[in-house]
């Protein structure tokens, strides 16, 4: 199933605290527009581009990228972009696209 940007805008558009995969912390989304999710922390700000997020979800659906949050980060950087892949994992897990696991799987 492709990423539904309308769902992303409805859920995160006015700002949202996304729980992190592990550690009991939160990722602060400040806004969403037609091109990106905007995130901010006290130390940095970033944009997660819609085109990259959509490509990542398409590759998950195709079986190219793992649904395991830990493995996803490596795959996303390899196949999509080195664009705050851990932040992308937090968001896609919150959307139910990635597995709910908090453990790390090892590839053999």
- Cα–Cα separations (whole angstroms), residue 76 to 31, 51, 100, 101: 22, 13, 17, 17
Q: Is residue 9 in some structural domain?
A: yes
Could you report the per-residue pLDDT of 48-68, keeping only the tens digit for each? 999 999 999 999 999 999 999
Joined together, the tokens standing for residue 108 give 């053999």
Q: How far apart are CA 53 and CA 94, in angstroms?
A: 14
Inter-helix orientation angle 85-94/50-61, to 10°: 70
- State the residue range of the domain holding 68: 5-94
Note the pLDDT tens digit of each residue in 73-107: 999 999 999 999 999 999 999 999 999 876 555 55
Task: Note whether residue 103 is domain-resident.
Answer: no
Tell me, yes or no, whether 69 lies in a domain: yes
Q: Is 101 a member of any domain? A: no
CB-count burial class (<10 Å; 0-12, 13-18, 19+) for 89: buried
Whether 105 maps to a domain, the answer reads no
What is the reported pTM? 0.91
51 assigned to some structural domain: yes
Q: Is the Cβ–Cβ distance between 101 and 71 less than 8 Å?
A: no
Count of structural domains within the chain: 1
């Amino acid at each position: 199933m492709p990423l539904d940007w309308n769902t992303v805008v409805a859920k995160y558009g006015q700002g949202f605290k996304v729980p992190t995969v592990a550690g009991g912390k939160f990722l602060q989304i400040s806004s969403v527009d037609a091109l990106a999710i905007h995130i901010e922390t006290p130390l940095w700000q970033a944009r997660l581009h819609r085109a990259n997020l959509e490509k990542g979800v398409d590759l998950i659906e195709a079986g190219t990228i793992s649904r395991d949050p830990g493995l996803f980060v490596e795959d996303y950087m390899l196949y999509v972009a080195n664009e705050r892949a851990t932040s992308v994992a937090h968001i896609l897990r919150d959307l139910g696209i990635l597995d709910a696991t908090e453990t790390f799987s090892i590839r053999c």
